[in-house]
Structure 1
Amino acid sequence: MDASGRRVLTVAILASFVAFLDSSIVNVALPAIRADLGGGLAGQQWVVNAYLVTLGALILVAGSLSDLYGRKVVLRVGLIGFLVTSVAIAAAPGIAFAIVARALQGIAGALLVPSSLALITTHFGDAMRGRAIGAWTAATSGAMLVAPLIGGLFIDLASWRWAFLINVLPIAVTLWLLAGLETPDVRRPGARVDLISCALCALGLGGVVFALIEGSRLGWGDPLVLAALAIGVVLFAGFLLRERRAREPILPMDLFRIRNFWAGNVATTFVYAALALNGFAVVVFLQETAGFTATFAGLASLPTTVVMVLASSRVGRWADRIGPRPFMTIGPLVMSLGAALLLTAGDPFDYWLQMLPGIVLLGVGLTLTVSPLTSAVLGSVGTGHEGIASAVNNAVARVAGLLVVAMIAMIAGGDLDLDGFHRTAAATAVLFAAGGIASWLGIRNPHAVSAAS
């Protein structure tokens, strides 16, 4: 990899690192936010999901903007927006303000991940793309997993507010590197962004999520809950119908005719729903039920981080040679076994015997899965569409996480006590297993297909 390639990869990693770092820190900060600002379990869910609603709805628009205006322009706007909203969250005087600021941060976050991945896929050829995506996966996943530890230290030693200012330095460094990036942007002139589709998607998702979160609190027969659910479903259905007929759709339905694209997104739905459920449940359970400090709750995920950082790049190269199917099948099944082992958690609680083995298996399975999954989905589309393909895959992942976090109270049966944690662990294991089965049935190895044809 030459100097230009290394700079492109560094920018892509740092831009995504910012988004993943913040979205992971928020989980470990939830108990402290609840204690400081109030809001209960529903408030915790909204702090997570306000970000995911706008991210999931607008990440598709961001993918189109990336293809239209160029990756570097979109990245720059996203980084500045993320910086401003991070400061706003840190200064939040109440839970409502924090939720609104998180929603605005989701808009900025939507601009970062698709453009950073598209920057990699357009700069690197086939020979280096798998290795580059593997390095991106290792770094960004490491950020997502080590963030609870970093956030925990800030929360225990200072305040949860300081945890949201961690990304100021990486944003500044990324903006400086981006300014000197010489690689040309890939643009698709003449495209338009459908704002009506954007509104239908955002309001539809928001209505469904509101019903799922507030239904457990207000009751499923409450008129407000029923109305929000009905309106959300109708608006999101309207979004899908509009996308089928739009001249410049933000969700190109034709992409779903590509086997590895649709199969990869089905696997993404199950795997990332399981990851979101596990990430929320583990850190909240460790602090609110097992009595861990925020720092020790963050340390709990460190073994997963170590495994991913050490092996993701190597797995990316193996998947380039062998094909993604076996990795995308075995990886989620290993994670399913890891989640099942979390069912051994009991009273008295012993992290080393009851949780560590499962967390290590989660790290192994995640390492086997993420890089091949990303390569399979992005490698299945033609040149010039990487931005929207990355955006769709990321939107699927975020919406899957959004919906499952909205359902946590329902899955746990109330709160994340020991019984509730067992229920979430069982649901997580089922979702991971479904992801492995979906990959085995749907994914095809590109090399094998080429050879057969």
Structure 2
Amino acid sequence: MSTYSCDRGQAEAVKGKSVAHPGWTIAATMLASSLAFIDGSVTNVALPAIGKELGGDASSLPWVINSYLLPLSALLLLGGAAGDHFGRKRALILGIILFALASVGCAFAPDLTSLFLARAAQGVGAAILMPNSLGILGSSFEGEARGRAVGTWAAAGAIASAVGPPLGGWLVDSVGWRAIFYLNIPVATAAIIVAWHYVEESAQGRGRLDWMGALLATVTLGTLTRALTLWSSRHAASFDTWAGLGGGIMLLVLFLIVEHRLGDRAMMPLALFASRPFVGLTLLTLLLYGALGGLLVLLPYLLIVGGQYSPTQAGLALLPFSIVIGTVSRRAGRLAERIGPRWPLSIGPIVTGAGFALMVRADPNASYWTSILPGMAVVALGMAGAVAPLTTAVLSSVDDRHTGTASGFNSATARTGGLVATAIAGAAIAVPRADLTGAFQAAAIVAAVLAVAAGVIAFLTLAKSS
């Protein structure tokens, strides 16, 4: 939901030139990226309606989200490299077209399998358009103009993420869940028209693309996610679960071997991990965004199924989270510039963990203002203190050659955390309605532990002056 802050460093890391149509260029990138931001948050409130119409259960419903997150997580770096190689404008328009066509496929999906395939195509489109929307900003602006452009892009992402749940809930209530995918068509059409006419092409034409690394990353994440989903939905580890985990680990080792042999030509250069702060920031991102991703999937489900909220009400229940993030994160970023990211990245996740601990009091049948809002507000406050300093810390944790790749990898790690959390969330979705509140509260305890661990990792791995 707030991973836009992890992405903004990709644009800031690229040196560029002035642009003929600055306003239209920013508009094109904002329209394109809003597709991914809205779709990343709007689907959560539609899960119960989708499950009711298409017959989803605890082992299949998480894949409505994960079939989108999987290719987005695995292919984000490759999508950026493709833009560098073939041209960022071409890649941006291609990604938008693919996303729009996949959205039509989602809207017309007759069953869950068709929906999963269309959602996966959406994820591929998002993996292409997201890094290239930032790459275009980085190659089109310089100095303070670039900072303003990226800030505008990030603010638009925050707004899109905030609008997504209540708008999606209203559409589910008034039209039906398929309408949330029709919403993408006019936005995509406008983005294509503006990009085609006003965005200048920027192509590097450098190197070969790491297709093998991208394939192995996708298959590895898919195998591990499927195994975790099976385990969580059945509340037991079957032979399929162990086989999937074993196969996923073997594929991960193979992926690392391939990336090591490719060196700096790899999609994920292993030289990045020679930096202790970068390793710590990667673990922090995985744990913190994993905890957050689980909350954003389970809370709407709890409110709708356990508390009889309408999808609109459930979407509005999430709105305070985005409001706090949007108003506080910029101030936290300025504070981190003065004192360094170590303390914000240590305290922010710990405050987030305290918010998750408060969510143990969550009861969908009690007052929202006393049982849900306090914990959510504290979670949002802690996240707001962490998201902006995280970008600065990632960029400063590696040498100049790897800043763009490091920021892109951090963004992919954030989405992978959400991917894993959604897979495990099936354990709560699988319980009977009467037990759903208890399952959510148990998940909140796990999220609290993960968030606090993220803060401790930041304190131990970041230098005092970093």
Match of 1:439 in 2: 458
TM-score calculated relative to the size of structure 2? 0.87
Equivalent in 155, 168, 179 of residue 172 of structure 2: 155
More deviation in 94-103 or 5-14? 5-14
Per the TM alignment, residue 422 of structure 1 is displaced from its structure 2 partner at its CA by 0.2
Name the Cα RMSD after superposition.
Answer: 2.7
1:3–1:171 Cα change, 3 Å: same
Could you tell me how far apart the structure 2 residues matched to 1:397 and 1:168 are?
Answer: 27
Change over 3 Å in CA distance of 1:117–1:375 after alignment to 2: farther
- Tell me what 2:247 maps to: 231
Superposed, 1:124-143 pairs within 5 Å as: 124-125=141-142, 127=144, 132-143=149-160
Letter matched to residue 225 of structure 2: V
Q: What SS does structure 1 have at the residue aligned with 2:182?
A: coil
Instruction: Establish whether residue 407 from structure 1 lines up as the match of residue 407 from structure 2.
Output: no
The 5 A counterparts of 1:5-20 are: 6-20=23-37
Corresponding residue number in structure 2 for 1:208: 224
How many residue pairs get aligned? The number is 446
1:92-103 → structure 2 map (5 Å cutoff):
92-103=109-120
Q: Give yes or no for the alignment of 1:176 onto 2:182.
A: no
C-alpha displacement at 1:36, in angstroms?
A: 0.5
Match of residue 44 from structure 1: 61
Change (3 A) 1:190 1:85: same
Contact 2:352/2:383 (8 A) holds in 1: yes
The one-letter code matched in structure 2 to 1:241 is: I
CA distance in 1, matches of 2:416, 2:230: 18
Alpha-carbon distance in 1 for matches of 2:147, 2:346 = 18
Residue in structure 1 matching 2:443, options 424, 447, 450: 424
CA shift, 1:371, in A, is: 2.1
Deviation at 1:401, TM superposition (A): 1.2
| Deviation per residue, 1:145-197 (Å, 9 max, x gap) | 3311110000001100001122222222322332344566262x341122222
Equivalent residue, structure 1, for 2:281: 264
Q: TM-score, normalised by structure 1?
A: 0.89
> Are the equivalent residues in 1 in contact too, given 2:363–2:372 (CA < 8 A)?
no
Contact residue 131 and residue 314 of structure 1 kept, 8 A: no
* 1:426 Cα deviation from its structure 2 partner: 1.1
CA displacement at 1:293 relative to structure 2: 0.5
Per-residue CA deviations over 1:2-50 (Å, capped at 9, x if unaligned) read 9955544443333222102112111111000000001212221111111
SS where residue 43 of structure 1 aligns?
coil
Q: Structure 1 stretch 303-312 or stretch 245-254: which is displaced more?
A: 303-312
**Amino acid in structure 1 at the alignment position of 2:122:** Q
What is the distance in 2 between the residues matched to 1:379 and 1:115?
Answer: 22
Counterpart of 2:60 in 1: which secondary structure?
Answer: helix
How many Å separate the matches in 1 of 2:20 and 2:332?
23
411 and 73 in structure 1: CA distance in 2 versus 1, 3 angstrom threshold: same
Code of the residue aligned with 1:196 in structure 2: it is: M
- Residue 10 to residue 267, structure 1, CA distance change in 2 (3 Å): farther
1:166 corresponds in structure 2 to 183
Q: Secondary structure at the match of 2:61?
A: helix
How far residue 51 of structure 1 moved from its aligned partner, in angstroms, is: 1.3
Instruction: Give secondary structure in 1 for the equivalent of 2:266.
Output: coil
Q: Could you tell me how far apart the structure 1 residues matched to 2:250 and 2:419 are? A: 18
Distance (whole Å) between structure 1 residues aligned to residue 138 and residue 338 of structure 2? 18
Indicate yes or no: 2:301 matched with 1:284. Answer: yes
Q: Is the 8 A contact 2:344 2:385 kept in 1?
A: yes
Query: Equivalents in 2 of 1:101, 1:127: separation in Å?
Result: 40
Please state how far the C-alpha of 1:131 moved relative to its aligned partner.
5.5
Gaps of 5+ in 1: none
Gaps of 5+ in 2: 1-17
